[in-house]
Chain A
């Protein structure tokens, strides 16, 4: 087990930076998820930790020891690859035994370790099979098994469940989280799926264009996104954004939009007064912080037209057309679908966000 630290880490391919000045501290025994869209530098980051890529500049440290110059075999990390990378000509047993064999463990010890790992992952009945005889989920378990047989310093999981079907993915999320808790080994888990990161990790590092956007717990990242990009990336359905101007109406700071004019609460008013000189902001609000009715409500509200409704079993998503944009509202399935009709949306003002229009930084 180890604490992993990234200190000013850069990765450049030629002149093209893939990772820019990355600084992360990942405490011993914690589950860090690196989250971002494809091409954000998350895989490069993981491969630098594994030793499969050179670190262009900066340092990666395990327990305060720099590992930049160590080849992969001396880093004592175990990695699960996106495509599993099982050895096709070897049985499941031999696949899992490989790291132990390379370390010269004796046969009885190898057998014991492989079998206990296989039991933990419930693949002990598959040990004689070859990878091509396994289903996707089973291959993925074998790949995890190969990683856990030798109790490494650190687990590196590179989108390990991206290729599984949705149901199995949901199941494996729980399994992997439980496994990490049971073994207590530090884990870095790379994914583009915000749901995986949210549901599994202790800490999420959100990356975009090679830069770390936000490092925080899943709650922090979801409830207090540092900028509009993080706010838009995390959460499903995605956050709604609308460009608003700030106006003073009856002594109250108000977000004004062609479709609505809603005053902010007192604390938000203070924040705006203290920071923003600009009169333009981006308002952001999650679909579940809005409520929709067909009758005109008493207080502040947004008026729009129902574009389409999507029933998702337990929830319903309603797309509402405003004059220049469209917002999505999460409501209950009892809501009657009445397309093209005028509807009214009320806003939970305590849950909305405001971002600067220039750099996207969050005000609140």
Chain B
């Protein structure tokens, strides 16, 4: 059994580089984790406790970050008085709905583009991808006008449609690559076994499951974290978490505690989703049934 990957030998340079990377990663972790930590801890603190800071240079004073009596009052305020349960629901429906619609339409479109030859296929495919080339802001004004004329502004279907518009090309693009990697022989074997074309298509879906899984996550992330569409198209009737959080910044006072709590509510589900689906995102399903 040969070793996997290219072997390398230790040199002074590589040793130095290893030290450098360790230090770099250390800083990077602090840089990334600290804001999340502050957000998480502050959401359980009273406003006065949250703003207790040690003096500059007083390293021992760091402990003041941890000296607080935990309180759930910000969370209680969000869900009991500010209607965050509705916004959470809106976020879930908008993200989930657009992901489901995009994956259903996207896998069928990607399958067709992968398997069927027709005139202008490359142009069509390029056009589909090109819809993602313009920044969202550039199309926002006409899009808003169209949505308003159709009565979709401030509704969940409107928001789902808006997200789907932007997710579908992405879905087709990702999934086509996955379908391209499934050998034709597997569908042909299905058809000879007695399947219709549609049954054969369904039969190869498990083989593109990693692609579908990866795409669903990206699609949900896009919709979940989106602020622009949520603020403009979803405003009013279909307010999502980011838009609602923004409203906690009021002219008179900034509700820091509630903002931190809303941040936690917004972040946790996506972190959890990431953990669950990590396996799909990282590993491709190399299943070795077809010997090429």
| Contact B193 A102, beta carbon cutoff 8 Å | yes
Q: A99-B194, A102-B195, A146-B193 are in contact. Are A84 and B188 (CB under 8 A)?
A: no
| Contact A131 B192, beta carbon cutoff 8 Å | no
User: Contacting chain A: which of B105-113, B125-133, B137-145, B282-290?
Assistant: B282-290
B185's contact among A78, A83, A99, A131, by CB below 8 Å, is which? A83
| Contact B195 A73, beta carbon cutoff 8 Å | yes
Per the 8 Å Cβ criterion, residues 138-190 of A in contact with B are: 139, 146, 156, 163
Q: A81-B185, A83-B183, A89-B206 are in contact. Are A51 and B291 (CB under 8 A)?
A: no
B278 to chain A, nearest CB (A): 20
Query: Does B199 make an interface contact (CB < 8 A)?
Result: yes
B188's contact among A78, A85, A131, A139, by CB below 8 Å, is which? A85
Closest to B286 in A: A132
Complex Cα spacing A206 to B292, Å: 26
| Contact A78 B192, beta carbon cutoff 8 Å | yes
Per the 8 Å Cβ criterion, residues 73-96 of A in contact with B are: 73, 77-79, 81-89
Query: Does A52 make an interface contact (CB < 8 A)?
Result: yes
| Contact B207 A99, beta carbon cutoff 8 Å | no
| Contact A72 B192, beta carbon cutoff 8 Å | yes
Q: A72-B191, A102-B194 are in contact. Are A85 and B199 (CB under 8 A)?
A: no
Query: Does A50 make an interface contact (CB < 8 A)?
Result: yes
B193's contact among A83, A99, A136, A163, by CB below 8 Å, is which? A99
Closest to A130 in B: B287
B95 to chain A, nearest CB (A): 28
Query: Does A71 make an interface contact (CB < 8 A)?
Result: yes
Query: Does A336 make an interface contact (CB < 8 A)?
Result: no
Chain A residues with Cβ below 8 Å from B193 are 73, 78, 98-99, 102, 146
Complex Cα spacing A86 to B189, Å: 8
List the interface of chain A (C-beta within 8 A of B): 50-52, 71-73, 77-79, 81-89, 98-99, 102-103, 130-132, 136, 139, 146, 156, 163
Chain B CB within 10 Å — which of A51, A88, A139 has the most? A88
Chain A residues with Cβ below 8 Å from B152 are none
A90 to chain B, nearest CB (A): 8
| Contact A86 B199, beta carbon cutoff 8 Å | no
Closest to A81 in B: B185
Q: A130-B287, A132-B288 are in contact. Are A85 and B185 (CB under 8 A)?
A: yes
B239 to chain A, nearest CB (A): 41
Complex Cα spacing A81 to B207, Å: 19
Complex Cα spacing A77 to B199, Å: 18
Query: Does B203 make an interface contact (CB < 8 A)?
Result: yes
| Contact A52 B192, beta carbon cutoff 8 Å | yes
Complex Cα spacing A323 to B200, Å: 61
Complex Cα spacing A207 to B150, Å: 64
19 more CB-based (< 8 A) A-B contacts, given A71-B196, A73-B193, A88-B207:
A79-B188, A81-B188, A83-B183, A83-B185, A83-B290, A83-B292, A86-B189, A87-B189, A87-B203, A87-B289, A98-B193, A102-B190, A130-B287, A131-B288, A132-B287, A132-B289, A136-B291, A139-B289, A156-B192
A293 to chain B, nearest CB (A): 48
Q: A52-B188, A83-B183, A83-B185 are in contact. Are A163 and B194 (CB under 8 A)?
A: no
Query: Does B264 make an interface contact (CB < 8 A)?
Result: no
A67 to chain B, nearest CB (A): 13
Chain B residues with Cβ below 8 Å from A98 are 190, 193
Closest to A103 in B: B194
| Contact B191 A51, beta carbon cutoff 8 Å | yes
Complex Cα spacing A188 to B152, Å: 61
| Contact A84 B291, beta carbon cutoff 8 Å | yes
Chain B residues with Cβ below 8 Å from A79 are 188-189, 192
Complex Cα spacing A242 to B74, Å: 98
Complex Cα spacing A83 to B183, Å: 10
Chain B residues with Cβ below 8 Å from A81 are 185, 188-189
Complex Cα spacing A166 to B291, Å: 17
| Contact B192 A86, beta carbon cutoff 8 Å | no
Chain A CB within 10 Å — which of B183, B189, B206 has the most? B189
Chain B CB within 10 Å — which of A50, A83, A131 has the most? A83
Per the 8 Å Cβ criterion, residues 218-244 of B in contact with A are: none
| Contact B287 A131, beta carbon cutoff 8 Å | yes
A76 to chain B, nearest CB (A): 8
Q: Enumerate 25 A-B pairs (CB-CB under 8 Å) in ascending A order.
A: A50-B192, A51-B192, A71-B191, A72-B192, A73-B192, A73-B193, A73-B195, A73-B196, A78-B193, A81-B189, A82-B185, A83-B185, A84-B289, A85-B185, A85-B189, A86-B289, A87-B186, A88-B285, A88-B288, A88-B289, A102-B190, A102-B195, A130-B287, A131-B287, A131-B289
Complex Cα spacing A83 to B188, Å: 12
Chain A residues with Cβ below 8 Å from B291 are 83-84, 136, 139, 163
A179 to chain B, nearest CB (A): 18
Chain B residues with Cβ below 8 Å from A86 are 189, 289-290
